[in-house]
Amino acid sequence: MIRKLATGLALAALMGGAALAETFEIQMLNKGADGARMVFEPAFVQAAPGDTIKFIASSKGHNAETAKGMFPEGAEGFKGKVNEELEITLETEGVYAVICKPHYAMGMVMTIAVGDVDAPEGFLEGRVPKKAKKRFETQLGNL
């Protein structure tokens, strides 16, 4: 009897943890609510390990993918196809830079912070288009 009770409690605890995970929906848009062009809405998400991010192809011509070298060490990058939804679960704490490859130069970027983290040193070093860099800097101000 005690073994059954302990097993039941352990299963409930495991399932309860999964139930606490959140799903964030990100719209990929040609024009945002504030009139800005080529945006992810929201442009910044503060998530916990195990949370799911769902990118919704609200406007045509967009994708979501991690920017090269701009995600936590040990994490896997991701790359969605143009005009398709993408759902990912992030387990590794850190800061993830997300871009729309076709509109990266136009500044279509977003930032996902997983866990209680700060922006990594040198995060924006390298080849980041001017408009994208400006938006990343604004988003990183949320940390």
Residue 110 assigned ligand-binding role: no
Known binding residue 62? Answer is yes
Exposed / middle / buried, residue 35 (Cβ in 10 Å: 0-12, 13-18, 19+): exposed
31: CB partners within 8 A, 6+ apart:
37, 39, 59
55 vs 75: CA distance, rounded Å: 19
Name the one residue in this structure whose structure tokens are 């991690």. Answer: 66
* Whole-number Å distance between alpha carbons of 98 and 44: 10
1 is known to lie in a ligand binding site: no
| Residue 42, preceding peptide bond in cis (omega within 30° of 0) | yes
103 is in an annotated binding site: yes
Binding residues, by number, are: 62, 100, 103, 108
Binding residues for Cu cation, by number, are: 62, 100, 103, 108
